[in-house]
């Protein structure tokens, strides 16, 4: 009777044979046997981090004109309800009017704001009956006292306003500084004047961070969503 001279395999102390019904992995490619590639794991982790970032601070991740419009805030003094963008907050003391909304954060976030209020005597634009003329006069006032930048007004744009508070007009333009070397100090001014039944209100948007702040079409959405308190 012959003997089997084949070497006996050596196993680790904690080795246990696979059960008879264990899946056969012989048909798998080397990549499939190794499991998910590192790049797949990295992409999954990146997607997870983006979801967390959007949930905690959407304004820092979303494209500038995709900043989401959030819940409405009632401005008791004017009776207007404005949508507060996600990642923005209402501040207690408005520089002009009765409501001011700013992005959460520091740096360029402090150079961007939404202002609103009733168009009442005391504001020069209130003396102008034409809504477009009033919006233009208000834009000039805001450029002078809020933006604080002088220069050429470029990319002027006029659009119609129609929301729950009434109809009117919105005017916007980019301020190009007089000194070319001081180009970074320019800004964007947007003002809307609207109303009905003898009452008028205004909403303004101003920023010196044009490359990162939302643009005029985004602001159109804020104005169009304005509501009156019931």
| Radius of gyration, CA atoms only, the chain | 30
What is the CATH code of the structural domain delimited by 65-228?
Answer: 3.40.1000.10
Residue 79 CB partners (closer than 8 Å, separation 6+): 118, 228, 229
What pLDDT score was predicted for residue 195?
97
Q: How far apart are alpha carbons 20 and 36 in whole angstroms?
A: 26
What pLDDT score was predicted for residue 38?
65
Q: How far apart are alpha carbons 22 and 4 in whole angstroms?
A: 28
Q: Per-residue confidence of the chain (230 residues) as pLDDT tens digits?
A: 555 565 655 655 655 555 555 555 566 666 555 555 665 666 667 666 655 554 454 444 444 555 677 899 999 999 999 999 999 999 989 999 999 999 987 665 568 999 999 999 989 999 999 999 999 999 999 999 998 888 899 999 999 999 999 999 999 999 988 765 555 568 999 999 999 989 999 999 999 887 778 889 999 999 999 999 87
What pLDDT score was predicted for residue 49?
62
Query: Which of 87, 86, 117, 85 lies closest to 100, judged by CA?
Result: 117
DSSP sequence for the chain: -----PPPPP--TT--PPPTTSPP-TTS-HHHHH-S-HHHHHHHHHHHHHHHHHHH-GGGTS-GGGPPP--EEEETTTTEEEE--TTEEEESS-SSSSEEEEESSSGGGGGEEEEEEE--TTSGGGG--SHHHHHHHHHHHHIIIII---EEEEEEEEEEEEETTEEEEEEEEEEEESSGGGGGG-EEEEEEEEEETTEEEEEEEEES-TTTS--HHHHHHHHHT-EE--
Residue 199 CB partners (closer than 8 Å, separation 6+): 118, 166
What pLDDT score was predicted for residue 54?
46
């Amino acid at each position: 009777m012959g003997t089997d001279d084949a070497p006996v395999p050596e196993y680790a102390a904690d080795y246990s044979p696979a059960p008879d019904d264990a899946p056969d992995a012989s048909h798998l490619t080397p990549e499939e046997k190794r499991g998910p590639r590192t790049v797949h794991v990295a992409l999954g982790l990146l997607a997870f981090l983006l979801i967390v970032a959007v949930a905690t601070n959407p304004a820092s991740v979303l494209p500038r004109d995709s900043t989401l419009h959030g819940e409405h805030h009632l401005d008791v003094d004017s009776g207007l309800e404005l949508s507060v963008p996600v990642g923005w907050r209402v501040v207690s003391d408005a520089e002009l009017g009765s409501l001011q909304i700013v992005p959460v954060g520091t740096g360029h976030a402090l150079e961007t704001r939404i202002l609103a209020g009733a168009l009442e005597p005391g504001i020069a634009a209130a003396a102008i009956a034409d809504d477009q003329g009033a919006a233009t006069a208000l834009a000039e006032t805001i450029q002078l006292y809020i933006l604080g930048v002088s220069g050429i007004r470029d990319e002027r744009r006029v659009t119609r306003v129609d929301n729950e508070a009434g109809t009117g007009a919105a005017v916007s333009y980019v301020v190009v500084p007089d000194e070319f070397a001081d180009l970074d100090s320019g800004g964007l001014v947007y003002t809307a004047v609207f109303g009905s039944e003898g009452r008028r209100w205004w909403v303004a948007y101003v920023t010196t961070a044009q490359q990162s702040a939302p643009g005029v079409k985004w602001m159109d959405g804020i104005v169009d969503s304005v509501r009156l308190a019931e």
